[in-house]
Structure 1
Amino acid sequence: MQALHGSTRGGRKVAGLLAGVTAALLIASVSAGAQEWRTSSSLIDPEVETKPFERYDYVNPDAPKGGTLNSAVFGTFDSFNPFIVRGTPAAGLTFFGGILWETLMQQSPDEPSTSHPLIAEAFKYPEDYSSATYRLDPDAHWHDGEPITAEDVVWSLDVLKEISPQHNRYFANVTEAVALSDHEVEFRFDQAGNRELPHIMGDLPVLPKHWWEGTDARGRQRNIREPTLEPPLGSGPYRIKSFDPGSEIVWERVEDYWGADLPVSIGRNNFDLQRYTYFQDDNAEFLAFQKGGTEDIRREVSTRRWVQNYDFPAVEAGDVVKREFESASIEAMQAFVFNMREPRFQDRRVREALTLAYNFEEQNRTHFFGLNKRFSSYFEKSELAATGLPEGRELEILEEFREALPPDLFTEEFKLPVYTPRTEREYLREAVRLFGEAGWEIRDGRMVNKETGRQFTIEFLGGSPTAEIITSGIIPNLRKIGIAATLRIVDTSQYIQRLQNFDFDATTGRFAQTNSPGNEQRDYWSSEAADIPGSRNMGGIKDPVVDALVDKIIYAEDREELVALTRALDRVLLWNYYMVPQYYQPTMRFAYWNKFGIPEEQPDYIGVDIDSWWIDPERERALAAKYRSQN
């Protein structure tokens, strides 16, 4: 639930839209509206900027406040600083601020690539997109009553670019932020033509400079470059009430939250308390959910459990509800990532062979009851996904790099192996052949280097027992062709630290995308990010073609060009076998104790907005009385 709460909450205030604001964010040649102040904006739908925004259509504007939302979290935490590589941040915190710190604008849970005012009430930019100016809401203030100023914004950008690999790449083209007044700040860019950059400056979390540069209760200087367990000063709808390091954290709703009346706060942020309890064992967490009182809403990611284990008394009595939601957002690619910083994974033929060894169909049948689907794109379920053969503008783009690309990319449709009892031997035989071309051979049942005689080894790194199921479709087949494939499961803190420092052979990675890809692609795929600890380029991709396509995506002049470029990037990533795509659940599966009021509709884009739910006191009391004896 941490990701849900970190990514879907927020609020905006619309003071009124200026007439004549059109598709300035979509068409680079717009001049008339370029320097007009704008409130809501979209990189996809220009109509967003022409109609008043009063609240989200799906929320209940009269939703009552109160009660406690109990959530369970797997692992541990040891820091309230989510912006640095060191430490494991507590639930409720993300590198975009979470529920403690507000951003300048807030991304809409209902429409892709759309944002509405939050700390900033409006922004503007010149027609060449060479800068952006944000005007702060004069009512915005910190929990200590101090106003949020342009100086806070300038300091936040500077320090986050210094300490956070994600922000460093995301805002790589921002040369400086300048406070024009107490409530206006101008961001200056190193190049013109990046139509996304003025928009995504709204994603900047704003931090309290006076608090971080001050001293704690013991008179010690605070340091944002280090982990901390001192509850930080925030500006959002919640603040830390209490915590037990590694075990529990409780957030309380801020009664005098300055943004409570903003349009996207209406009908949201309804729980008085949000309590997160940490578990070290997934089975113990599920048992706690069955009893009630520790976890109220559970997103079930285990297909086996969803099918077989929701038969306990509370479900049969209707006190626990199973429900599936659908989302229109791009599925976050989940894949086996091989660390190409290790020489044995740098050969494309080896990576293709590893892809051939993954038997998704058998895994789906035996573990997932045939309910999961396999990824075929890094931009699954969107118009950005590469399909068929390249054609039109996409083909023109790829022709520029033909000599550096696999020839088959231009003549064959990319397809992953589909296992049947008859094809398994065929795929493994082809995998052995590819290993042979790459300098490996089978001796005495072991895949060894032809020159050194050393066996090919892969240690898959996992952070929970779920990794046993995830790797079940590939490890047995790797062993069949002589590879010493093993799985190592470590505790959450060690797992996170090893991922951040790229200390693994192979692991499972997830790569969330938006319908308007841009600057974040650098952090995923660029050669520069490959060498930065904590970046999301987990596999260490260093490909000049990928670098060039990422830059072109960032500076795409219109939507049509962006789609063509992204399809080209998708195709290049697939044909180079940088990862082995795994699977996704076609619906979002939730089970929850029946104590909630839920809007009749949920947002089409993200599928579920828990922050729009509220607690029904009568139902809560009835459930507590009924199940008190079990606890």
Structure 2
Amino acid sequence: GKKRDVTRPTLEPPLGSAAYKIASFKPGSEIVWQRVPDYWAAKLPVKIGRENFDTQRFTYILDDNSAWQAFTKGGLDDIKPENSSKRWKTFYNFPAIQAGDVIKQEFKTTSPEPMQAFMLNQRRPLFGDRLVREGLTYPFDFETMNRTLFYGFNTRTQSYFQGTELASSGLPQGKELEILEKYRDKLPPELFTQEFKLPVYDTPQAERKYLKQAVELFAKAGWVIKSGKMVNAKTGAPFKFEILGWNDTDQVIASPWIANLRKIGVDATLRIIDQTQYVNRVNNFDYDVIIGQLGQSESPGNEQRDFWSSKAADKPGSRNYAGIKDPVVDALVDRIIFATDRDDLVAATHALDRVLLWNFYVVPQYYRAVLWLAYWNKFGIPEKQPTYSGADQSSWWIDPAKEKALAAKYKSSN
């Protein structure tokens, strides 16, 4: 065959074995996928009724507002997954919605929810003390954010395995307690006596209460407030860090936390950079704090090493964003990987979850157990959609009559 230099980029379409192949493309602008008529797996049971579109065209629009306008006009974007609470609540009132030509639908999901959080990079000495990391957790006022920014759509994340039987709760008991007892002298004592709970800003007095607790934790770790600034009691160095982000959403999420941190003298700032630079810096752990996500399955295994292990902490490109290096965590990860049965796996995962939570490696944010989709009313959709993912767009198909009617109605606007 033709020799290729794999170290150099190419615009040659790759050879594939899936249901679609590249029909045409314009670099950085558009790619068109064509269904393979003699696809080898088309009649396998898991494929029947799926991959029904003959052609799929993807157009790249870098500006989010432009992409939104393209969807509302029709003819370019047919299906829009929505992530913005504000847009879902207030923007879906354009003419096509009012006419019933665009459907706004919520699909409930039962899959594990990711841990979305502020990842505190322990490769920076500033975050090396567990008391400091716990202190940074208290100024995050989820309840006010959810009410004023997210229209009450979100729920606070309380576990690295949220939404599954793998999430720890209450106090450790049974086999989980038996596993943890081996490491009691290396774990926070509260882990055995207190249920893990994040602060709840449910009253006007809550802010004062939790900020006071944060200051007390910083004091135990050797930090004091002088002239309105949190400084090291010995060196006088200020407690200062940067949150690295790449889009407007990062600013929405980070700003309330930054504002509360400043009330206790912590100088936190947000820096937005372009996505390519962001990816490179994250891969090389060149940040103080990032907003990250860690997704889980209901059968954790080898991937846990990439999330938490000491070895992964020094491996560029790993998902150990917090830089965790803890022999107990390493041991629990191995216990999960080599679990003897389901009960053993659940107990070991409960133990890992609890150890991660009580070490405050991250500041948990929130999740939303639904999939929001808006779509032009041109599709046939099976009545039963998979609850695990919420919806399977590959099971949808074009309804010719609906498509023809929409094309005639909106021809002049496209």
Is residue 2:342 matched to residue 1:563?
Answer: no
Q: CA distance change for structure 1 residues 296 and 550 in 2, over 3 Å: closer, same or farther?
A: same
The C-alpha deviation readout for 1:26-70, integer Å capped at 9, x for no partner, is xxxxxxxxxxxxxxxxxxxxxxxxxxxxxxxxxxxxxxxxxxxxx
Describe the SS at the equivalent of 1:474: helix
Alignment of 1:360 onto 2:142 = yes
1:483 to 266, 279, 282: 266
1:360/1:473 contact within 8 Å kept: no
Q: Is the 8 A contact 1:461 1:507 kept in 2?
A: yes
Secondary structure in structure 2 of the residue aligned to 1:361: helix
User: Tell me, what secondary structure is at the counterpart of 1:240?
Assistant: strand
- Compute the displacement of 1:486 (Å): 1.4
Residue pair 1:461, 1:504 contacting (<8 A) in 2 also? yes
Measured in 2, the distance between the counterparts of 1:497 and 1:274 equals 31
Does 451-460 or 516-525 show the bigger shift? 451-460
**Are 1:254 and 2:36 matched, yes or no?**
yes
Relative to its length, the structure with more helix (as a share) is: 2
In the alignment, what sits opposite 1:282? 64
- 2:129 counterpart of 1:338: no
Instruction: Specify the alignment match of 1:317 in structure 2.
Output: 99
Question: Could you tell me how far 1:228 is from its partner in structure 2?
Answer: 4.1
The alpha-carbon distance between structure 1 residues 433 and 314, as it changes in their structure 2 partners (threshold 3 A), is: same
- In the alignment, the residues of structure 1 paired with residue 37 and residue 44 of structure 2 have an alpha-carbon distance, to the nearest angstrom, of 14
| Runs of 5+ unmatched residues, structure 2 | none
Alignment of 1:67-86 (within 5 A): none
Asked if 1 retains the 8 angstrom alpha-carbon contact of 2:78 and 2:376, the reply is: yes
CA deviation after TM superposition for structure 1 residue 414, in Å: 0.2
Moved over 3 A (4+): 225-229
Cα deviation, residue 299, structure 1: 1.4
CA contact (8 A) 2:370 2:390 kept: no
Matches within 5 A, 1:21-60: none
Contact 2:301–2:337 under 8 Å retained in 1: yes
Please tell me whether residue 394 in structure 1 is matched to residue 195 in structure 2.
no
The alpha-carbon deviation at position 453 of structure 1 amounts to 2.5
Residue 334 of structure 1 deviates from its aligned partner by: 0.9
Q: CA deviation at 1:506?
A: 1.1
CA contact (8 A) 2:378 2:398 kept: yes
Deviations 1:340-373 (A, max 9, x none): 1111011111110111110000000101112210
Separation of aligned partners in 2, 1:359 and 1:341: 26
Aligned-partner Cα distance in 1 for 2:344–2:227: 53
Q: Give the distance between the partners of 2:116 and 2:241, measured in 1 at CA.
A: 19
The residue that corresponds to 1:270 in the other structure is: 52
Which residue matches 1:514? 297
1:495 to 2:278 alignment? yes
AA aligned to 1:567 is: H
Alignment of 1:96-115 (within 5 A): none
| Higher RCO (C-alpha under 8 Å, 6+ residues apart) | 2
Give the CA RMSD over aligned residues: 1.5
Is residue 588 from structure 1 mapped to residue 371 from structure 2 by the alignment? yes
Matched to 1:535, the amino acid is S
CA shift in 2, pair 1:291/1:530, >3 Å = same
User: Displacement of 1:243 after TM fit?
Assistant: 2.5
Q: Secondary structure at the match of 2:270?
A: strand
2:14 matched to 1:232?
A: yes
Give a deviation string over 1:553-609, Cα, whole Å, max 9, x none: 001010000000000111001000011111111321111111111101001222211
**Structure 2 letter corresponding to 1:283:** N
Q: Is the 8 A contact 2:243 2:270 kept in 1?
A: yes
For residues 520-564 of structure 1, give each alpha carbon's deviation from its aligned partner in whole angstroms, at most 9, with x where no partner exists.
111111111111111111111111111100101001010000000
TM-score (normalizing by structure 2): 0.96
Matched, 1:416 2:191: no
Residue 301 (str. 1) matches residue 77 (str. 2):
no
User: What pairs up with 1:72-471 in 2 under 5 angstroms?
Assistant: 214-215=2-3, 221-223=4-6, 227-419=9-201, 420-471=203-254
Q: 1:608 aligns with which of 391, 399, 405?
A: 391
- Give the secondary-structure state (helix, strand or coil) at the position aligned to 2:219: helix
Q: Distance in 2 between matches of 1:441 and 1:489?
A: 29
Q: Deviations over 1:369-415 (max 9, x none)?
A: 12210111111111111000000110000001101100000000000
Match of 1:61 in 2: none
Compared CA separation, residues 502 and 246, structure 1 to 2 (3 A): farther
Query: Cα distance 1:392–1:614, how it changes in 2: closer, same or farther (>3 A)?
Result: same
Give the total of aligned pairs.
413
Partner of 2:310: 527
Work out the CA distance in 1 between the residues paired with 2:63 and 2:374: 19
Give the AA of the match of 2:212.
R
Cα 1:473–1:227 shift into 2, 3 Å:
farther
- One-letter amino acid of the counterpart of residue 40, structure 2: W
CA, structure 1 residues 310+476, in 2 after alignment: closer, same or farther (shift >3 Å)?
same
Asked if the contact 2:71/2:77 (under 8 Å) is kept, the reply is: yes
Deviation of 1:226 (Å): 5.5
Q: CA separation of 1:242/1:453 partners in 2, compared to 1, >3 Å: closer, same or farther?
A: farther
CA distance in 1, matches of 2:38, 2:54: 12
- 3-state SS, counterpart of residue 147 of structure 2: helix
Q: What's the TM-score, normalizing by structure 1?
A: 0.64
Contact 1:362–1:473 (Cα < 8 Å) also in 2: no
Q: What letter is aligned with 1:402?
A: R
